[in-house]
Chain A
Amino acid sequence: MAVIVNQLKLLAGGEAGDGVFAVSDMLALMFARAGLEILTTQTYSSRIRGGHINASVRVAERELFSQGDELDLLIALDLETVELHRKTVRDGGIILYDNSQGEIDLGDLEQRQVTVFPIPARKIAREKLNAPIMKNIVMTGAALTAVNFDPEFEFLGGLIRERFLSKGEKIVDKNMEAAAAGRELVLHANKSIPYKMEHRERPRKMLLQGSDAVSFGALVAGCRFMASYPITPASDIMEYLVTKFPKYNGVMVQAEDELSAINMSIGAAFSGARALAASSGPGIALMIEALGLAAVTETPLVIVDVQRCGPSTGMPTRMEQADLNLLIYGAHGEIPRIVIAPSDIEECFYQTIRAFNLADKYQCPVIIATDQYLSQSQRTTWPFDLSKVAIHRGWLLTDDELNELSGPFKRYLITERGISPRTLPSQEKGIFKTTGVEHVESGNATESPDARTRMMQKRFLKLDTFRREDMQPPKIYGNPDSDLTIVGWGSTKGVILEVIDRFRQEEGIDLKLMQLVDVWPFPDQVVADILRTSRQVAVVENNFTGQMANLIRQQTGIECSKIVKYNGAPFSPNELYQRLKELIMVSEKISA
């Protein structure tokens, strides 16, 4: 039997509370430290204990773009996990399962040459180790051995020491004993194992999820105020920043609701702090009124929407990209805003920093649209280049500049670029009044039709300036000369790239991807130019109505095919490959 080296997709599953994510997290980190590429996903329910949860870890030597398809290794902490996932284990794959509570029916597994290791982890942890909690360490030791990795537990030993040394040597030893028990069971089964995982030398890479990159990006950008209300899957951001802020003299306030959260952040931004509000669909919906306030008072504000399945409560722990319309249009009246959709971990970091700079420069809300999949999927990533980070606070007047003004300071001065000078409370010559009521240049309220017209034009002029000075055109991947164009935005980029690669290898067909990062204001002209020269265009997105495809039609008049998915799961490579293939083949026949 041929041995598969350094290519693995595993899934750890069990009941919530079993420590499933501890198993997947440890394995992912060990493989990453061994110089391999990682991409993880988490699937969980909106409940505390009970209910099936699972996490997948895909491992390879080359960079990974999606969660993949078939499983090589299933690690089942309960019997239900085997029943739910045995079909996705590939022929020749491996199943490790906890048989403390019963045996599984092998059924077709033997015929499919799936190697099965029953590991009574619960029983061992309880009876031999007298520590029921260590069942997942038993499983981890067994899993490492089942894929021929870390036979001397160098990686695992290091990790266990890091995590448990603070609890004492005894606990470390006991964990090692638990792992060794798992290893012995696999070795004693004496089965030939068709996998081998090997250490590869390469410079160190980080392993982090999208929300880590957004949160760290905010910190590095100088965000020092965040107000948020807990909501899945956005709470990771507030939970990260609250641990970092004390050292940097920042504050995270857990607000009583999202109405409060966004208004607190607007207040902090008015005082001069870089402020963030993060939420998911239901919370964003509550923030919409104050979004208009931030825009009309020209207060810089960064908002993160970690999209999840809507509408209403929807499926809180599942991914969707169905808030695009809300983020672009959500408001009564009309306001300037910038909406950015990062597509990977690097973009989560760098675009968050850019968002804070844009918010200060244009004095308007900047919204970062991520989703549950991107936010909670860990990936190996090159270290961020911190030397590339620049902080630009926009047009803030100094006291000297204020003293030199010939007349009174006008906070909403009408300028050619639409951007007005700003002062911060405590500047004596910079006192101004701001209001959500329409106002004149001084900030005082007005109902004059002329003043209203000028102020609307001034605010929207900022977007023209943004188009000229800062808008990022869509990124092109794949073969730029291909006239078969896939359009993506946000987290779908990875799977599209993987599928493009496969089309080239398996069908000899070159495709290109046009990935929109700045989604609002919409880069009309560039998109129209790219799409007009395309024979076929398919927009791939996770929503029902095809919001991006509709936006493209609205902005460019170009009709695109829609490939949509809205069941809560991201596209898998196989699925997207098949759907694109059908589309392309149908069109090839027509054109033939």
Chain B
Amino acid sequence: MVTLELYNQNTIKSQWCPGCGDFAVIKSLKEALVSLEVHPKDLVITAGIGCSGRAFAYLNGYSFHGVHGRALPLSTGIKLANEALKVLVLGGDGDGYAIGMGHFPHAIRRNLDLTYVVMNNQTYGLTKGQVSPTSDLGYRTTTTPAGNIEGAIDPMAIAMSSGITFLARGFSGNPKHLTKLFERAIAHKGFSLVDVLSPCVTYNRVNTYDWYREHSYYLDEELGYDPTDRKQAWDMLLHSEKIPLGVIFQGNRPSYEDLRPTNSREPIALQTLQGIDYAAVMEEFF
């Protein structure tokens, strides 16, 4: 049986600051994995560099903490080599939207069955408070003492235009809602992104829990928001004054795994390599 207790095994004590938004992310992830009955032996957690990347060590499962910005390619290889695995990709806004941005749209357009959780705190925490690609204009940091003069990027719009099939945004201040989002994201077949507004209590004194509460609202599917409506999703992303929270879009198209030409669905990594006859292939060289 998959229990929370199981997910607490093989973990180490967290090094995050007290009050960090990322605690809620880990807690909600564990709950979602338990409710979906994903066994840690079938889970691979990959992570990039940053405070959020350290999350790989705080829940059970196979894990690979790679170099800065490359968690998505790493996950692509892991998943393709064994499609039976659940692959959970953890990172922050710097890791995913700055140094790793080159991989973001490509991972999305491949539509591999990965769940990407970005703990977005609009600042660099581990390197002690520099500006991030999601920092707002005017935001003051150690590297923008006169205020940020680069506009923030919108990862949600980039994800939409890259053909994402599951797009959601959550908030660390509401772990229950977050758990539901993770459950749906992990259950989704195809690439899912959950961008979590996850306050940095040490370096970001602007985008605090209160600030996010004031500047966000919940999409209500019961009251008519239809995440399968692409046009509505775009409208929501482009025209909302406040930040929409919830499942913004859910589409459906074949994944890279589905489309890969092959004569077998056995996990690539686990098939036997012994006793295969290649004489016919060698014949092509005559």
Contact = CB atoms under 8 A, between A and B. Distances in A.
A433 B268 contact: no
A250 B41 CA distance: 23
A268 B77 contact: yes
B41 A425 contact: yes
A231 B82 CA distance: 28
Given A227-B73, A271-B85, 8 more contacts: A221-B273, A259-B73, A264-B74, A267-B64, A425-B44, A426-B41, A426-B84, A435-B63
Contacts of A263: 66-67, 70, 73-74, 77
Contacts of A206: 282, 285-286
A251 B67 CA distance: 24
Contacts of A260: 70, 72-73, 76, 102-103, 106
Interface string A409-439: 0000000000000001111101111111100
B65 A251 contact: no
Contacts of B82: 271-273, 424-426
Given A222-B273, A426-B85, A434 B80 contact: no
Contacts of B81: 224-225, 267-273, 275
A576 B273 CA distance: 44
A110 B267 CA distance: 68
A376 to B, nearest CB: 15
A444 B57 contact: yes
Nearest to B269: A272
B45 to A, nearest CB: 8
B282 A267 contact: no
Contacts of B65: 433-437
Contacts of A432: 62
Interface residues of B, number: 57
A5 interface: no
A207 B286 contact: yes
A216 interface: yes
Contact of B42 (A247, A250, A255, A425): A425
Max count, chain B CB within 10 A of own CB: residue among A268, A292, A393, A445: A268
A270 B75 CA distance: 10
Contact of B268 (A33, A225, A259, A444): A225
Contacts of B76: 227, 253, 260, 264, 267
Contacts of A297: 64
A50 interface: no
Contacts of B12: 444-445
A71 interface: no
6 contacts: A256-B102, A267-B46, A267-B79, A274-B273, A428-B39, A435-B63
Interface string A201-233: 000111110001000100111101101000000
Nearest to B265: A249
Max count, chain B CB within 10 A of own CB: residue among A245, A430, A436: A436
Interface stretch (A383-391, A452-460, A495-503, A579-587): A383-391
A273 B269 contact: yes
B60 interface: yes
Interface string B17-43: 000000000000000000000011110
B46 A220 contact: no
A430 B46 CA distance: 17
A264 B268 contact: no
Nearest to B274: A391
B279 interface: yes
Interface in B119-178: none
Contacts of A11: none
B271 A249 contact: yes
B224 interface: no
A481 interface: no
Contact-residue bracket for chain A: 35 or more
B77 A269 contact: yes
A393 B274 CA distance: 11
A125 interface: no
Contacts of A384: 282
B66 A293 contact: yes
Nearest to A293: B67
B249 interface: no
B286 A386 contact: no
Contacts of B70: 259-260, 263, 290
A265 interface: yes
B77 A267 contact: yes
B239 interface: no
A386 B279 contact: yes
Contact of B77 (A247, A264, A383, A434): A264
Nearest to A246: B261
Contact of A433 (B56, B261, B271, B278): B56
A289 interface: yes
Nearest to A345: B285
B223 interface: no
A264 to B, nearest CB: 4
A384 B279 CA distance: 9
A169 to B, nearest CB: 24
A433 B41 contact: no
A383 B282 contact: yes
A299 to B, nearest CB: 9
A244 interface: yes
B171 to A, nearest CB: 28
A257 interface: yes
Nearest to B12: A444
A531 interface: no
B63 to A, nearest CB: 5
B270 interface: yes
A266 B46 CA distance: 12
B276 to A, nearest CB: 7
Interface in A263-318: 263-275, 289-290, 292-293, 297
Interface string B77-104: 1111110110000000000000000110
Nearest to A391: B273
Given A219-B278, A249-B262, A426-B85, A268 B42 contact: no
A266 B102 contact: no
Max count, chain B CB within 10 A of own CB: residue among A274, A425, A428: A425
A270 B80 contact: no
A431 B77 contact: no
A434 B268 contact: no
Given A259-B73, A290-B67, A391-B274, A251 B262 contact: yes
Given A220-B278, A222-B273, A275-B81, A264 B73 contact: yes
B61 interface: yes
Contact of A271 (B56, B67, B260, B269): B269
A249 B266 contact: yes
A216 B283 CA distance: 11
Interface string A382-410: 01101000010100000000000000000
Given A260-B70, A260-B102, A290-B70, A270 B64 contact: yes
Contacts of A264: 73-74, 76-77, 80
Given A272-B270, A434-B64, A253 B80 contact: yes
